[in-house]
A = this chain, B = another copy of it.
């Protein structure tokens, strides 16, 4: 069914506030999920809300925690999320880190013990909105097999980069897996098969069945290179956040375990460098105007399609399954 953003926001916030989440935190968590819906990423949208409410009920998510921030060096924050909601811990950390980055030029925060932080583009955009370059990484359950392997040993380990370019920032947000497990869950939810190069089943065989893929492993993107990059994220996050490695990670896809993955946020003040935002914007326009492979499809810059979808959805509303809507409305009504 098609629902208005205002309605979806209202029932989402209410369902969180019903579990003791403060209004401002409920707004932030709901905003993150709804921004994912607006961008056409339902895997990171409100389908995660019922699980989040269950986690709050079970004490796996603390409705009030916003993270205990400790400055270990002049440019480094070590954050114990205290089981707080991911976006709440992330945005508090981003605020503190932005002050450090303005002084130091570059600063890093490593976060453990926070719940799922959702769509990384959200934080990359928040950094760019403060005229800072933002680099975000997070780990997850073991969902991805190594290049040349068949067992789920790595997280989907996404990376996001936000770079101010004047009016519209460059925003890249990519999982280092062939697809996100959220997308495979969405296929399972809607009963549609997956392409055969996405995943293997529990026995290590290629599969088009999303349910079999959930028990198996997703391929890394870009063969050996994507594997190396995802492994780099796995190691960087664990080295700095002291969080668990993928095979021991839980708590972002279930409602029974504490979330023990880690998150990294790096902020850089571009005014400490020598370039200009206007120069970046002009270059991106040249890219868009360059010769396309298909004359009917101009060259795009990451973030272009996302912004177009968002603009449309703000008018038209978003499409969510009726059953999901009814579930969230019931949660909102307590």
Chain A residues with a Cβ under 8 A of chain B? 72-76, 78, 103-108, 110, 112, 133, 145-151, 153, 159, 161, 163, 165, 170, 172, 174, 204, 221-229, 231-232, 234-236, 238-243, 245, 247, 266, 268-270, 272-277, 279-280, 283-284, 286-287, 290-294, 297, 299-302
Contacts and interface: CB of A to CB of B under 8 A. Distances in A.
A108 B105 contact: yes
Nearest to A269: B73
Contacts of A148: 292-294, 297, 299-300
Given A74-B103, A103-B73, A240-B270, A247 B149 contact: no
A240 B107 contact: no
B240 A146 contact: no
Given A150-B292, A163-B239, A222 B221 contact: yes
Contact of A106 (B112, B149, B228, B266): B266
Nearest to A222: B222
A284 B154 CA distance: 11
B241 A149 contact: no
Contact of A236 (B163, B174, B287, B293): B163
Contact of A291 (B103, B104, B150, B239): B150
Contacts of A243: 275
A275 B231 contact: no
Contacts of A161: 232, 236
A299 B220 CA distance: 14
Contacts of A274: 78, 110, 112, 240-242
A273 B243 CA distance: 10
Contacts of A223: 221-222
A105 to B, nearest CB: 3
A106 B238 contact: no
Contacts of A275: 238-243
Contacts of A231: 170, 172, 287, 301-302
Given A108-B272, A172-B232, A231-B301, 12 more contacts: A76-B272, A110-B274, A146-B299, A149-B299, A161-B236, A163-B232, A170-B231, A170-B232, A221-B223, A238-B283, A242-B275, A245-B283
A245 B278 CA distance: 13
Contacts of A72: 105, 272-273
Contacts of A291: 149-151, 204
Given A105-B73, A239-B273, A149 B280 contact: no
Contacts of A273: 72, 76, 78, 110, 239-242
